[in-house]
Amino acid sequence: MPASKPAEKAEEETATSAVHTHSEAGRRTRSSPPSVLLADPSDVLADELFYATVEECEDCRTVLLDCAAQDARAVKKLVDWALWITSEVHGGLPDVLVDQDAPKDTLFHPSVTFRRLAQGYRTGQTNSAQHNVRGPEQRREVADDAVTLVAGLDRYGADFLYW
C-alpha cells in the first residue's frame, strides 16, 4: 500500500534535515545555490541537493535525488541553473556538453538526455517541449548530472569538463 503524501514528506524531512543539514555554512562554495541565482527562495530541495553534493554526503544526496525525480519543475530549474553557471564559466556551453559523440573517458560524462537539454539551452529552446524530461528515472539522471556538473566546476574549476 503506497504511503500517504504527509508520511512521504515527513520521511523526506527526517532523512535530510533532521539528521543534519546541508548549507552554505557547512562548506564555502564558489557557486551559488539555485535559490539565489533563480531568485526563488522556495527551492529548498535544489539547494539541499547542491550542498549535499558538494559536501559529498551520499546518503542525503540519494534521498534528495529521489525526491527531485518526482518534481519536473525542480529538475528543469536544476538543469537551467547548471547550464547557466557552465555558460558563465566557459563563455557559452562547451561542445563537450552537447556532442552526442563526446569521449566517454572524461571525468564528467553526462547522459544523452542532459546533452539534449544542453543543446536546447545553447539554441535558446529551454521552454520548448524538447526541454521536458519524461519519467522519474530520466528526471533523476538529469538532476544528478546538473548537480554533479556544478559541484565539479565548483571544486575543480573550468578544467573539470576536460579531465
pLDDT at 42: 53
Instruction: Give the chain's length.
Output: 163
Domain count, the chain: 1
Task: Look up the domain containing 67 and give its range.
Answer: 5-162
pLDDT at 20: 58
pLDDT at 31: 57
Give the C-alpha separation, 137 to 121, whole Å. 21
User: Taking the chain (163 residues) in consecutive chunks of 10 residues, what is each chunk's mean pLDDT?
Assistant: 43 45 54 55 74 87 90 86 92 89 79 92 70 84 94 87 79
pLDDT at 28: 52
pLDDT at 4: 43
Kindly report the three-state secondary structure assignment for every residue of 11-68: HHHHHHHHCCCCCHHHCCCCCCCHHHHCCCCCCHHHHHHHHHHHCCCHHHHHHHHHHH
Give the C-alpha separation, 148 to 5, whole Å. 28
Give the C-alpha separation, 104 to 90, whole Å. 21
